[in-house]
Structure 1
Amino acid sequence: MKNILCLLAVFLLYTAASAQNSLTGSITSKIKKEPVSATVYIQQLEKGTAADFDGNYMLKNIPDGNYNVVFSSLGYATISKKINFSNSQNVTENLQLEESAVEMEEVIVSTPFHKLQSDNVMKVERISTQDLNASGAITLADGIKNIAGVNIISTGTGIGKPVIRGLSSNRVLTYTQGVRLENQQFGDEHGLGINDSGVESVEVIKGPASLLYGSDALGGVLYLNPEKFAISGETHGDLSSTYFSNTLATSTNLGVKTSGEKLKFLARGSYSSFSDYKSGGDYRVTNSRFNEKDFKTGVQYLGGKFKSTLRYNYNRSNIGIAEEIGEQSHSKDLELPFQEIDNHILSFDNTVFFNNSSLDVKAGYLFNDRREFEDDKATAALRLKLKTFNYDVKYNLPELGNFETIVGLQGMFQNNKNEGEEILIPDANTTDIGLLATSHYHLEKIDFQAGIRFDSRKIESEAARNPLEEDFISALDKTFTSFTAALGAKLDLVKNLSARINLASGFRAPNLAELTSNGIHEGTNRYERGNQNLTNEQNFQTDIALEYRNEHVELFANGFYNAVSDYIFISPTNEMMDDTPVYDYLQNNANLYGGEFGFHLHPHPLDWLHFESSFETVTGKLDNDDYLPLIPANSLRNTFRVELNDGKTRKSSSAFVTLENTFSQKNISKFETRTGGYSLLSAGIESSFQLQKVLLKLGINGTNLTDKAYVSHLSRFKPDGIFNIGRSINVNLKVEI
């Protein structure tokens, strides 16, 4: 024990005495030669600073290594520059930023090499949660459907599951705090369980990402970037509250963060409470009410040779289960039946820096306690406890010429246990392990990226119920393996015109519900029978993206074709059990195809004026020409937006009007019905005011302003003819210090 303590002491002393580098310089505008108060940020270190009014900046305490340093400011083109630091250097970098009407670029975190979007081989959609909230989103899941190619399967306003290009549930992987989220996401009525409080931005990979993330990323990845720590030497606090008129709801959020040169800390808490939502049909949907408590905290240490970040998130969600239109009430007290869900996420992210390479080690522990109360508020009829430990080890090799290479090891240990009277899925253990290697090759006009991966998943479940009864679930012991690969290129074809071509394979091992179900699933009102003979889903997607941008306009066209072998789907039979229709899990090959197209007009010199339009379409069919279920309808979204940066007291103002046209969905599966089209109008205005050291933000927005009575094709209330949410006027107030 003494030897261990001595070694630890020596290591800490070595770290404290390690060489520290610094970066200084000045930033000016290229044409006017005026100083620019730009932000200087190093994503790998999660470290940044802001230039002063004279354009001068200093960034200290930088470990040895090669880092992409990003220089950005509103109204200027973002620059990413690779800089080498070693031997206690004071590196000087004076830059001139070029004026640009194109919005500021951010570093993409969900892909491995931390590039700006313009340098990234994969096309990744990114949007800040601030923008999602400004659009009137009730929850994080509700907000992501504003991203082209993304939608949600909704159960009222409290539950939303992401859909990426027609694929959802276990085919879409969610990452938060740098670790994969596991919360029984196989269920249609199981939501994200993540509050937007403390989430800075959302990134979406649209297409197979199994190379980076393994099983369950066959359809894409929803990557939630946590709130950044404060800049070194600064302390900030904020308080915000939002009122939603439709649900008579309030959502309150309080946060504080402080940073020294090496040690950083933040904490944030929020509480939201919603009553039953009022539909466009002028009735309230009984027991669609919900409330949510959320707490997030984090601490980070940056030394001369390593960086460590510890984050924790606790979320308690109480969600009513709406079954029919009953008593009209404004009450926020839950009625039976309802869900009560506790979600704990603990993540530990460490990076060790060497002279020309680095080692990233991430570990996560997640505990999801899901309880469903049906007849008694004191005793849960269904209780599932899911414990997950996952790890992610990546070594960033020394750069060899224009080559950047990463090798990695990922894995997961998971235990599922039942503690209620009802059994939805049996007690089981799941073990994952994956090995990967990926490289990025950069030339002046073209970038290549390629990789390969091997995965193994072992599922062991216990037998459940009486072996003599029809609903008996036998024990399971199966192993699923797969190789996946990806190859992509980004080409600068001519000035302002670029293309991305990506070929990627993915896989998904069947989940416990698909393998072992044998009983009535109350949430879907059907008797589901699993199939222990199911095999891996494998897919191969071709993705082509074209993008043109100049000082006046941006145009984009993204097309994809996704071939899925052994696609798992649930299909009705002609049987009845316990007066409930029986559905079996089957497999067949499937194909999905479509894309997103649009433009963004920002005519120079009227850079404050924006007009954005996007169209998205996806079609999914089995090999027998039957359409896949839960495929979103085609939609067209048009937004007129004004953004003004006024200066001293009124720092900024913005306003928008959005018209979203959703077309009829006629391409339906055997157990779906057609859904009519509809148009939704929303608008909002927001301003921020600088009052000495206090920044005050005021905003008001409205969604479904015409109070349209409509049903989304992806609403789980659709079979009951229950309309989606009607008009809502939302008011937000935020104070930052």
Structure 2
Amino acid sequence: FSKLEASVNKHIRLAIFSFVVFGSMMGSALAQAIQNNLSGYISDTDGGRIANARIMARNQAGVEQFSVQSDVAGNFSVDNLPAGKYRVTVEAEGFSSVSRDVVVDGTANQSLDIVLSVGNISESVTVTATRTELTTMETAVPVSIVGREDLERQNPNSIGDIFRNLPGTSTVNEGSFQVRPRIRGLDSNRVLILVDGERLNNARTSTANSGVEIGLVEVGQIQTLEVARGAGSVLYGTDALAGTVNIITKDTPRRNEDGFRFGTAFNGFASSNEDGRRGSFAVNGSSRLFAFRVSQSLERFGNYSSGDAPFIADPEVLNSQSHAGNTQATARFFLDDQNTLKFAYDRRRASDIGSPTLVGVFNAFFPFSNREKFSTRYEGTDFNKYLARFSVSGYYQKQNRNFTNILNVPAVLPFFPGQFQFSETVTKTNTFGFDAQSNWLLGERNFLTTGVSFFRDTNDDERFIERLTPNFAVFPPVLVRSEDRTKSVPDSSFGSFAAFAQDEFSVTNRLKFIGGVRIDFFRSKAEQTDGFSLPPSFTQSQIEDLGVQGLTSGLNIHQTAVTGDFGAVFKLNERVSLTGRIGRSFRMPNLFERFFTDAGSVGGFVVGNPDLKAESGINIDVGAKFQTSRFAGSVTYFTNTYTNFLSTVRAFDRNGDPIRILRPGQSPIDVSQTVNIGKARIQGIEAEMEYSINFAGGFLTPGGSISYLRGDNRETDEPLDTITPLKTVLNLRWQDRPNRYYGEWTTRIVNRQNRLSTVFLASNGGPEPGFAVSDVRGGYNFRRERYRLGINVGITNLFDRYYVEQFVLAPARGRSFVFGTTWEIF
């Protein structure tokens, strides 16, 4: 292993060195492009010229080349524009945005005249789907974008609540901190969560029991949320099995050429149901040389109450509370017009986080869950006509979490003195990562993205268990105290070094192919750790049958994963795009699945499995996307086939006999182990749309989404559990033309799930019930050149329905009056 490790490290250093040197050489050696002029005018459908329209252009790498405004006659002009292909977008208040592809060939001055239509439908831009800024119409990836304006209107308790209404997504858990996303029927670490393009997932959290805590990102710090459904492993590596969520946080203000500009912002939120409140205050500033932003937030949420039902005596859902705060500081230095350097610090502190309904005999909660992150990023653009962008970023992240559970069985005197157990596990996971990326314009039709990335999670657990157990050797029985400081996971690490490339080739102005490939080198390491051991009753042959030789003395595991995908976008016209994509996704087993050895959460004893293979999937998406000044929508059919799914099953020895832990005078304990056995297929249809109608001096916009999922366990020929069959979201919004006032109604309908496995149906007491829940919202937005005031109010769960999200144990929140406000000085 040491020779292989040395070889891998040598290649890593060589690849990084070559990547940086090559990018620098290309930046200085190649000649600059010929400069050109572009001019035109902006008008409405009646021929009237539109003043103060904003005209922006980005090249194929997503780099903004210019941003100007039309004059009083609607004219605009841009000089000294490098030759190449551009996406020009025009926006004006009261009109739908319009985008056009323009090729500047350097032969003459070129003109561009654009007509805007009255409306409120605008194109969305994604950076997650391709690692560069691109409109959703131009990508083959099904993606949903939730911008800052949408977040303010929704007034969510937590970031997890956003996934309730998006197509192809649902939620796991309840409360103001513990809600997590599920995408296309898969949840937990089978979904990759990024924060500003960097991993939030870590290798210590379990897959089935808790998963990555998306609540470690505070809602008020979010600028945009992007949800890319389907395979994301070519660009982002492990964990992007079902989809990729990129949480883009608020950045510094734009560069200010005219002196120094100072700004402030306040965001407030209140919810009546759980007496919840959240507030954040930020200061920012920008000049020609640098910009900064500093913010602080606090939040407090008590126990929430469920909806009204005849069988509910007390609607309060105990142990659903949480408290938290967040500190964020960002500084950006403008080295020149093309080069920037960014430093960021983010500190999240959450405490007293309950697990809803886990009270009474068994109580579980998180006394704290903390995250701290330092990051830096260099980005340069327009090195020459070939190298459009080059960036290098690095980060260091700490995630510390305390999970405590208490078992308190009441006494039945004099025969039973009771039983008590206090268990506290503190996981400390530190992550170091870096990413280098270059974007190349290889002519007018070819755009290449290349890069290398690395991350390494190191984990150290601390555990303390205190037990008071009955001694029946005497009468009346008495309680005997004992302590246990053993560990269920050894001190360990998990990391990856990867290289990737993705190419976009425009065959014609209508047809574009996108293909990518990635190779990952993984290393999982377990160290010899005090307090971590195998049960002493295991025989040598049982240890060999379980494949855990060397687990307690230290292991080095090296694995390689190669992934690829291919897609196409065909533009029927400027309004309709047809898309198709096939790709491989994967998830490498984490430290918990490989090394966890201890009593299971539902009984028995679980032993680690160092020989696990990666879960993998083949994802196929075909669809159509539509965009006009009045209508926007998309429809996608997908089929995802997965192999090597991880499942925990009974362990057997070489003779076919079950492996058990023998205990003198007591019944033996069954041993289980996580293995690769699962094969599954999940397929479905996702569609979303909105249509704008002129009505009552504004725009009436009906819209919504529909998601149909079907899951099949191909090992047992039974339905796959935890699949929501049909979800429909209906939305009706009115807003005035200047976008100052709005009112909105939303209804979410989830159909009953009858397709469940025989075992699940028996344990669940029948099918999983469906439900329908409605929300109403409204607000006012007042904006001037230097300041903005926004007020948003609403009632969630308008009819106070009692319901439970499918495959979640705790009931959902009942009716709540929510209030949000935003004050900004620019």
Quote the Cα distance in structure 1 between the aligned partners of 2:745 and 2:497: 48
Tell me the residue number matched to 1:419.
462
Report if aligned partners of 1:129, 1:196 keep a CA contact under 8 Å in 2: no
Question: Could you tell me which of 740, 761, 773 is aligned with 1:652?
Answer: 740
Tell me the residue number matched to 1:3.
none
- Alpha-carbon spacing, 1:135–1:478, altered in 2? closer, same or farther (3 Å): same
Tell me the residue number matched to 2:674.
585
Question: Do structure 1's residue 347 and structure 2's residue 366 form an aligned pair?
Answer: no
Tell me the residue number matched to 1:76.
96
User: Cα offset for 1:85?
Assistant: 13
Quote the Cα distance in structure 2 between the aligned partners of 1:700 and 1:136: 8
Question: Could you tell me which of 106, 115, 138 is aligned with 2:157?
Answer: 138
Report if aligned partners of 2:41, 2:70 keep a CA contact under 8 Å in 1: no
Q: 2:126 aligns to what SS in structure 1?
A: coil
Residue pairs, 1:168-317, within 5 angstroms: 168-183=187-202, 184-186=204-206, 188-190=209-211, 191-192=213-214, 193-233=216-256, 234-280=261-307, 281=312, 282-302=314-334, 303-317=336-350
Q: 1:706 aligns to what SS in structure 2?
A: coil
Residue pairs, 1:574-653, within 5 angstroms: 584-586=673-675, 587-603=677-693, 608-623=699-714, 624-646=716-738, 652-653=740-741
Report if aligned partners of 2:624, 2:634 keep a CA contact under 8 Å in 1: yes
User: Cα offset for 1:269?
Assistant: 1.8
- Alpha-carbon spacing, 1:367–1:241, altered in 2? closer, same or farther (3 Å): same
Tell me the residue number matched to 1:452.
517
Report if aligned partners of 2:174, 2:812 keep a CA contact under 8 Å in 1: no
User: Cα offset for 1:418?
Assistant: 1.4
Q: 2:340 aligns to what SS in structure 1?
A: strand
Quote the Cα distance in structure 1 between the aligned partners of 2:100 and 2:603: 53
Q: 2:166 aligns to what SS in structure 1?
A: coil
- Alpha-carbon spacing, 1:194–1:645, altered in 2? closer, same or farther (3 Å): same
Quote the Cα distance in structure 2 between the aligned partners of 1:495 and 1:58: 24
Question: Could you tell me which of 354, 373, 396 is aligned with 1:321?
Answer: 354
Tell me the residue number matched to 2:497.
433
Quote the Cα distance in structure 2 between the aligned partners of 1:70 and 1:579: 70
Q: 1:419 aligns to what SS in structure 2?
A: strand
Quote the Cα distance in structure 2 between the aligned partners of 1:351 and 1:729: 44
Report if aligned partners of 1:389, 1:413 keep a CA contact under 8 Å in 2: yes
Question: Could you tell me which of 540, 554, 569 is aligned with 2:647?
Answer: 569
Q: 2:149 aligns to what SS in structure 1?
A: helix
In the alignment, residue 690 of structure 2 is paired with which amino acid? H
- Alpha-carbon spacing, 1:255–1:97, altered in 2? closer, same or farther (3 Å): farther
Q: 1:197 aligns to what SS in structure 2?
A: helix
- Alpha-carbon spacing, 1:97–1:382, altered in 2? closer, same or farther (3 Å): farther
Q: Which moved more, 1:687-696 or 1:431-440?
A: 687-696
Quote the Cα distance in structure 1 between the aligned partners of 2:640 and 2:263: 46
Tell me the residue number matched to 2:636.
558
User: Cα offset for 1:662?
Assistant: 0.8
Tell me the residue number matched to 1:7.
none
Quote the Cα distance in structure 1 between the aligned partners of 2:792 and 2:555: 54
In the alignment, residue 142 of structure 1 is paired with which amino acid? D
Pair member with larger Rg:
2
User: Cα offset for 1:205?
Assistant: 1.2
Report if aligned partners of 1:62, 1:304 keep a CA contact under 8 Å in 2: no
- Alpha-carbon spacing, 1:263–1:497, altered in 2? closer, same or farther (3 Å): same
Q: Which moved more, 1:684-693 or 1:264-273?
A: 684-693
Quote the Cα distance in structure 2 between the aligned partners of 1:83 and 1:269: 45
Question: Could you tell me which of 517, 534, 545 is aligned with 2:623?
Answer: 545
User: Cα offset for 1:26?
Assistant: 7.7
- Alpha-carbon spacing, 1:172–1:704, altered in 2? closer, same or farther (3 Å): same
TM-score in terms of structure 2 length: 0.77
Q: Which runs of 5+ in 2 are unaligned?
A: 1-23, 408-421, 465-485, 539-547, 652-657, 662-666
User: Cα offset for 1:488?
Assistant: 0.5
User: Cα offset for 1:257?
Assistant: 2.0
Tell me the residue number matched to 1:4.
none
- Alpha-carbon spacing, 1:385–1:608, altered in 2? closer, same or farther (3 Å): same
In the alignment, residue 519 of structure 1 is paired with which amino acid? D
Q: Which moved more, 1:233-242 or 1:217-226?
A: 233-242
Q: 1:381 aligns to what SS in structure 2?
A: strand
Quote the Cα distance in structure 2 between the aligned partners of 1:151 and 1:526: 31
User: Cα offset for 1:697?
Assistant: 1.4
Q: 1:506 aligns to what SS in structure 2?
A: strand
Report if aligned partners of 1:28, 1:36 keep a CA contact under 8 Å in 2: no
Question: Could you tell me which of 427, 431, 451 is aligned with 1:384?
Answer: 427
Report if aligned partners of 1:410, 1:433 keep a CA contact under 8 Å in 2: yes
Q: Which moved more, 1:201-210 or 1:127-136?
A: 127-136
Report if aligned partners of 1:62, 1:85 keep a CA contact under 8 Å in 2: no
Residue pairs, 1:701-716, within 5 angstroms: 701-715=794-808
Q: Which moved more, 1:355-364 or 1:201-210?
A: 355-364
Tell me the residue number matched to 1:107.
125
Quote the Cα distance in structure 1 between the aligned partners of 2:669 and 2:179: 26
Q: Which runs of 5+ in 1 are unaligned?
A: 1-10, 328-334
User: Cα offset for 1:416?
Assistant: 0.9
- Alpha-carbon spacing, 1:304–1:130, altered in 2? closer, same or farther (3 Å): closer
Report if aligned partners of 1:687, 1:698 keep a CA contact under 8 Å in 2: yes
Q: Which moved more, 1:397-406 or 1:633-642?
A: 397-406
Quote the Cα distance in structure 2 between the aligned partners of 1:251 and 1:292: 9
Quote the Cα distance in structure 2 between the aligned partners of 1:146 and 1:667: 22
- Alpha-carbon spacing, 1:396–1:496, altered in 2? closer, same or farther (3 Å): closer
Quote the Cα distance in structure 1 between the aligned partners of 2:366 and 2:669: 22
Q: Which moved more, 1:510-519 or 1:580-589?
A: 580-589
1:308-327 superposed Cα distances (whole Å, 9 cap, x missing partner): 22222111111433364769
Quote the Cα distance in structure 1 between the aligned partners of 2:393 and 2:455: 12
Q: 2:463 aligns to what SS in structure 1?
A: coil
Question: Could you tell me which of 380, 391, 409 is aligned with 1:360?
Answer: 391
- Alpha-carbon spacing, 1:725–1:429, altered in 2? closer, same or farther (3 Å): same
Quote the Cα distance in structure 1 between the aligned partners of 2:139 and 2:801: 40
Quote the Cα distance in structure 2 between the aligned partners of 1:277 and 1:526: 34
Tell me the residue number matched to 1:28.
42
TM-score in terms of structure 1 length: 0.86
Q: Which moved more, 1:250-259 or 1:25-34?
A: 25-34
In the alignment, residue 585 of structure 1 is paired with which amino acid? T
- Alpha-carbon spacing, 1:56–1:181, altered in 2? closer, same or farther (3 Å): farther
Residue pairs, 1:659-678, within 5 angstroms: 659-669=747-757, 670-671=759-760, 673=764, 674-678=767-771
- Alpha-carbon spacing, 1:576–1:22, altered in 2? closer, same or farther (3 Å): farther
Question: Could you tell me which of 439, 447, 450 is aligned with 1:407?
Answer: 450
Quote the Cα distance in structure 2 between the aligned partners of 1:59 and 1:178: 32
Q: Which moved more, 1:606-615 or 1:161-170?
A: 606-615
Quote the Cα distance in structure 1 between the aligned partners of 2:205 and 2:82: 40
Q: Which moved more, 1:620-629 or 1:497-506?
A: 620-629
Aligned length: 700
Report if aligned partners of 1:149, 1:616 keep a CA contact under 8 Å in 2: yes
Quote the Cα distance in structure 1 between the aligned partners of 2:100 and 2:294: 30
User: Cα offset for 1:626?
Assistant: 3.1
